[in-house]
Chains A and B, each alone.
Chain A
Amino acid sequence: MSGEEKTLRVPFLLDTEYRYAVGQYGARFFTELRDHARLMGVRCPECGRVYVPPRPVCGICYRELHEWVEVGPEGTIVGWTVVRIPFIDPMTGEQRPVPYGFAIIRLDGASTSLYHFLDETDERRIRVGRRVRAVFREKREGSLRDILHFRLLEGEDE
């Protein structure tokens, strides 16, 4: 096994910047979000699925997607959690602050779901089926961060 002999560890910080292309579909989505606080998906002409994130092709039908439709800003929680275990965020190399709540959210009108933050960290107050609403930032830059988080709505679950 490890043995009693003390051996050395050699530290190395991997630290690289990447330049990810957002692509046409991402650009359209983020432009709408930034300029109009509107969320958009694309619909498949064959199966009718509305995709968020938007993408060029429906993977199931293998048809090109061109029909943009508005989705949200409300939606339903499909799955959720509250992250309590600290971990190092690969985007910063530092610990990401915990706890934070996040969910898989199906926006109204969308067939697929998005990962995003919830405004809640009390597990007792979150459930599958709860309705949520996107909270948009005042100043938006064209990224998913333009949504601060999703707010749990009171009232009937779906």
Chain B
Amino acid sequence: MAKQPSSDRIELVYGSLDMLILRTLLWGPTHGHGIAKSIERVSAETFKVEHGSLYPALQRLHQEGWITSEWGVSKKNQRAKYYRLTAAGRRQLSAETSRWERFARAVTSVLNHPEPEEVK
């Protein structure tokens, strides 16, 4: 694995990891390692996700009823626990996504705004 300068990595905002996990599972059921790899790949390794931090998040999502889990066998014939998105999880993801987009738009527009007209 190529080393990344640490300054290029961004710490995840609290709660956004949940969203990333749900989004990943939208492509289909997978195991914890698969989720970690997928997030790294899709975000072009921008996010600094410690693999260990996935597991408490997975438990939490499970308790909320947004994902379910069952033991299965991987392509390489390895036993692993597979997580699957539930209907409630899908609803949660779309709600979270639209909230995130509003948030991102707002932040972006503030950052891109020209100098305020009335400055003391």
Q: Do A and B come from one complex?
A: no
Binding site for B on A (CB under 8 A): none
B residues engaging A (CB < 8 A)?
A: none
